[in-house]
Amino acid sequence: MSRDTDAYDCIIIGGGPAGLTAATYLARFHRRALLVDAGQSRAQLIPRAHNHPAFSAISGVGLLERLRMQAIECGALVSNETASDLEKCGAEFALKLTERIAVAPAVLIATGLTDVRPKIAGLREAEAKAIVRYCPVCDAFEATDKRIAVIGTLADVCPRPSS
């Protein structure tokens, strides 16, 4: 494993909409930004989104492609790698990537969420058809005036305080 000799101003972990937007703005502010993307953004599952400014009824895959292209055009460096370990080393952070170590004084973690999927037969197909949705911000508009079911526990909504 080689140590990355390039100095970054910021390393962004996560290639979803938040990470790509951060990479775009950092690059526009002439910061050397490295975005690390393992290619597992939850946004890829969105069949049609209406909640992103300037894009109406765009697929999650389409949105990610456009955001990635814009970040690269602005000068962000995008790496299709997996991050495994992050350590603070003096004034810098060292991030272990698939084949190297990258360093920067700042790290932005934009890895998003991992959905807890119930064990229901045909769930993947229902997700692909936008019958099952997970994100209230992204998906509430899509469910306007439709009957819906909510699966969860009270602990999901109102966790008990630690004692």
Give the predicted TM-score (pTM) of the model.
Answer: 0.77
For 54-110, write each residue's pLDDT tens digit: 777 788 899 999 999 999 999 999 999 999 899 998 999 999 998 889 999 999 999
* 17: nearest Cα among 135, 103, 117, 146: 135
For 116-135, write each residue's pLDDT tens digit: 778 889 988 887 777 887 77
Q: Give me the domains of the chain, ranges plus CATH numbers.
A: 2-109 (3.50.50.60), 123-157 (no CATH)
- Cα-Cα-Cα-Cα torsion 96, 115, 127, 81, nearest 10 degrees, comes to 0
